[in-house]
A = this chain, B = another copy of it.
Amino acid sequence: MATLYGIGVGPGDKELLTVKAVRIIEKCQVIVAPSATEDGESIALETAKEYIKPGTEVIIKHFPMGKKDRVIKAFEAYEFIEARLREGKDVAFLTIGDPYVYSTYSHMLKHVRDCGFEVQTIPGITSFCAAASLVNRTLVVGDERLVVMPATKVKEITDEKFVVIMKVYKREEEVLDILEEKGFDYVYASRVGREGETVLSEREEILKLRDYMSLIIASRE
């Protein structure tokens, strides 16, 4: 029976894949990688490509951000994967970061399982863990909570001490205003583990850069 492997490839550094992810990428006959843009650039594929054996079928599937189009395109990807599984081929579906942290992998998994195929998932290094190691900053310690949230939820912060703000792009000003008002110390990291990796802690520099792939680690006493 063919298996779908959902593989977290980590933040974008080819050395931050796990040994298990590499082993499975090497053995799968088909690799499917998502692309957020129409030009077909896939960060997940870029990250994993040196582990893909010659002769492997590699397909980039576009998962657009717009909701309506997304469902149609996702279904096309599911059908492609299902067809390959029916041929008895093992398929690796690559996801950036971890498959269960802000990813749409779970929808695909449901479809593939409903078709009766085996699924095995390999965890990945999250962008926030990679960023914390890069800047050498604690995410959470002791008896405290760690709250990971998209930028849209920053205004709901109450008594949190350790937070990670994801999807900061285009909301930089609002996020920094709230963090400063609430007495947080913060660091901004973009493109962690990839070309153009940047760490900033000055407000003005962050507002100038405004990178698409960015997050903020923040804490207060």
Residues of A within 8 A of B (CB): 6, 8, 10, 13-20, 22-23, 98-104, 106, 109, 119, 121-126, 129-130, 132-134, 136-150, 152-153, 156
Contacts and interface: CB of A to CB of B under 8 A. Distances in A.
Contacts of A121: 132-134, 136
A100 B132 contact: yes
A10 B15 contact: no
Contacts of A101: 129, 139-140, 146
Contact of A138 (B18, B100, B146): B100
Nearest to A148: B146
How many copies the complex holds: the figure is: 2
Contact of A100 (B20, B23, B139, B145): B139
Contacts of A156: 145
A116 B130 CA distance: 24
Given A17-B19, A145-B153, A147-B147, 12 more contacts: A6-B133, A10-B18, A15-B19, A15-B23, A18-B125, A100-B138, A100-B140, A101-B146, A102-B142, A143-B153, A145-B149, A146-B148
A98 B18 CA distance: 13
